[in-house]
Amino acid sequence: MNYTGANISVEEEKRIIFEAHSRYSGRLFDLQTAADYIGLGRTRAREWLTSIGAVRKFGSRVLFDRTVIDSALDALGDVNEEKVV
């Protein structure tokens, strides 16, 4: 048994961790990966990603720029911050 409590080999655990980290390692995401990254559904993600200017088109292919996504998320601030009215 490994540190996660699962009954898998160390090699299998390393493979799973590598795949999880490598999924978000590139700069440009397709829609599904971007939606998963920000935790939204595909439709809402497409709307938000377009509104923040993260769309990058290569011919007919549409990708989304991770650096723009990260900047927009950082600009949202911390959900624990108090709002001053």
Looking at the whole model, is its pTM more than 0.75?
A: no
- Give the model's pLDDT for residue 80: 65
What's the structural domain count of the chain?
A: 1
% the chain with pLDDT above 90? 54
Q: Residue 4 domain-assigned? A: no
The domain that holds 55 is classified in CATH as 1.10.10
In this prediction, residue 2 has a pLDDT band, given cuts at 50, 70 and 90, of very low
Q: Residue 50 domain-assigned? A: yes
Q: Residue 2 domain-assigned? A: no
Q: Residue 66 domain-assigned? A: yes
Q: Residue 82 domain-assigned? A: no
Q: Where are the beta strands (DSSP E) in the chain?
A: 28-29, 55-58, 61-65
- Give the model's pLDDT for residue 4: 57
- Give the model's pLDDT for residue 10: 80
Give the Cα separation of 11 and 25 in Å (integer): 21
Q: What's 65's DSSP letter?
A: E
What's the whole-number average pLDDT of the chain? Answer: 83
| Sign of the CA dihedral with 3 first, then 18, 64, and 52 last | positive
- Average of per-residue pLDDT across 33-56: 96
Q: What is the domain extent for residue 62?
A: 10-76
Q: Residue 85 domain-assigned? A: no
pLDDT top residue among 15 and 81: 15
Q: Residue 81 domain-assigned? A: no
Q: Residue 60 domain-assigned? A: yes
Of 30, 24, 27, give the one whose Cα is nearest residue 62.
30
